[in-house]
Amino acid sequence: ETYSAMLHLLLCVCAGAPSKTCPRYPSCPAGWTWFGGRCFIVNSSQKNWTDAESSCQTLGGNLASYHSTAEYTFIRELIRTAAGSYPTAWVGGNDRETVSETMWMWSDGSQFDFPNWAKGEPNDYKGREDCMTINNGGQDYVNDAWCNTNTPFVCVRDP
């Protein structure tokens, strides 16, 4: 059955057949990278969390969310590819509109099911850290940070 499915896909691709029986693979806009059914882009301009989220919304998306180790690793590597290193970068996690430091959410509205916090985080240092960064200090470290800090950021959108 797997062989049959692969043959079908090969015939569709080779024939360029846009038929209803051929699977369609989504494409991302120029500059975006497809992963796990969504499109991602790194923006290297330095913005605070609010302005970064607004920039992503202008592009039809939000600051990136991740829901698995694979997505988290993909985002880190996408940043490394764009920047040549692992700079601290905004993603969509935040607790700005929640009543508790333990109630975080993704700006895209998806379930906050895999934050992957570094040990001891989030700690809301000095009561001012309400936005999520990855690669904190260039490390494999997810941190809550002061939202007015200017850093690069990662956006996500549907294809």
CATH superfamily of 27-157: Mannose-Binding Protein A, subunit A (3.10.100.10)
Predicted confidence at residue 154, as pLDDT, reads 99
pLDDT tens, 83-141? 999 999 999 999 998 777 779 999 999 999 999 999 999 999 999 999 999 999 999 99
Predicted confidence at residue 84, as pLDDT, reads 97
Predicted confidence at residue 102, as pLDDT, reads 79
Predicted confidence at residue 72, as pLDDT, reads 98
How far apart CA 66 and CA 38 sit, in angstroms, is 11
Return the domain boundaries, the chain. Answer: 27-157
Q: Which pTM was predicted?
A: 0.83
- Rounded to the nearest integer, the mean pLDDT of the chain is 88
Predicted confidence at residue 121, as pLDDT, reads 95
Question: What single-letter amino acid sits at 148?
Answer: N
- What separation, in Å, do the N-terminal and C-terminal C-alpha atoms of the chain show? 29
Q: CA angle at residue 61 from 124 to 56, to 5 degrees?
A: 65
